[in-house]
């Protein structure tokens, strides 16, 4: 699979651009790598999700958490991880029940569409221990299957101070991605090939993270509607692929 991709310069260029853009969004918000990258990577090759995208999401989250580690609310991360574990367990059961890759593509597309809807409608939930636990569980379910786990948590974090929310979410996703990858490996949905694919996409991720230092927040404000529209179109295409 890696050799197939490296033999096509146009595909490599597309992957490069997608990962750079996703890393900029992630660095600006502390989340959003998956929603930006996963549906487009899945259109190029379903083998690029969920595990390779989760590898990259984990690395960007670790970097974001380390950069602002003094502002992390570890009590929130700890409770969120409990919810994430429940979501990961549920996701492994769902993946084990899927009969084939086409059904996975359909489920993937539906979950990406749900993530886009959650991002667009802007529902607000009161932040408390119960909503944090519940949304972390939903994030674990969605994130393990699609590598997109941010939208459920955005519902409860959107009104909190960015200086604390961003590093706290980054720390949560750093741990959460590790848990999701463990669940994928345990259920047979990840292997050494996924690590190789992630390594192939790591250089543009690093470039995007460096570029984000200069204009990451402006990129997000200007292009967020476009990115959501592209994600929605990709989700629809994946749904059609999964049904035809």
CA distance 167 to 213: 15
CA distance 98 to 96: 6
pLDDT at 122: 75
Distances (CA, A) of 211 to 22, 40, 65, 202: 11, 21, 18, 14
pLDDT at 63: 87
- 207 φψ region: left (φ > 0), alpha (ψ -120 to 50), beta (else): alpha
pLDDT at 207: 93
pLDDT at 124: 83
- 126 φψ region: left (φ > 0), alpha (ψ -120 to 50), beta (else): beta
Residue of 53, 4, 47, 16 lying closest to 33 (CA atoms): 53
Residue of 40, 67, 62, 68 lying closest to 53 (CA atoms): 40
Structural domain boundaries of the chain? 2-243
pLDDT at 227: 73
pLDDT in tens, 54-103: 999 999 889 889 989 999 999 999 999 999 999 999 999 999 999 999 99
Q: How confident is the model at residue 161 (pLDDT cuts 50, 70, 90)?
A: confident
Two structure tokens written together for 23: 């890393």
- Stretch 9-23: mean pLDDT, rounded? 92
Two structure tokens written together for 191: 């292997």
Please state the separation of Cα 160 from the chain's center in Å: 21
pLDDT higher than 70, residue 170: yes
pLDDT at 43: 92
Radius of gyration of the chain (CA): 16
CA distance 218 to 135: 28
Higher-pLDDT residue of 169, 7: 169
pLDDT higher than 80, residue 222: no
pLDDT higher than 60, residue 192: yes
Higher-pLDDT residue of 29, 169: 169
- 100 φψ region: left (φ > 0), alpha (ψ -120 to 50), beta (else): beta
Residues 6+ positions from 147 with CB-CB distance below 8 Å: 34, 37, 38, 49, 50, 51, 53, 54, 57, 180
């Amino acid at each position: 699979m890696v050799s197939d991709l490296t033999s096509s310069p146009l595909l490599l260029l597309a992957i490069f651009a997608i990962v750079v853009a996703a890393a900029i969004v992630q660095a600006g918000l502390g989340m959003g790598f998956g929603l930006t990258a996963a549906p487009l990577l899945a259109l190029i090759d379903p083998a690029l999700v969920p595990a390779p995208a989760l590898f990259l999401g984990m690395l960007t989250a670790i970097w974001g958490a380390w950069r602002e580690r003094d502002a992390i609310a570890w009590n929130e991360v700890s409770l969120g991880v409990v919810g994430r574990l429940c979501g990961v367990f549920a996701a492994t059961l769902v993946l084990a029940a899927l009969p084939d890759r086409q059904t996975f593509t359909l489920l993937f597309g539906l979950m990406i569409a749900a993530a886009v809807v959650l991002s667009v409608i802007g529902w607000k939930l009161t932040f408390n221990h119960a909503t944090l636990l519940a949304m972390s569980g939903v994030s674990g379910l969605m994130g393990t299957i699609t590598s997109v786990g941010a939208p459920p948590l955005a519902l409860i974090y959107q009104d909190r101070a960015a200086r604390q929310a961003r590093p706290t979410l980054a720390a949560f996703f750093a741990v959460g991605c590790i848990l999701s990858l463990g669940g994928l490996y345990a259920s047979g949905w990840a292997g050494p090939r996924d690590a190789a694919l992630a390594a192939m996409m790591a250089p543009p991720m690093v470039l995007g993270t460096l570029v984000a230092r200069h204009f990451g927040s402006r990129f997000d404000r200007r292009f967020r509607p476009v990115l959501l529209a592209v994600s929605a179109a990709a989700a629809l295409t994946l749904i059609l692929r999964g049904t035809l």
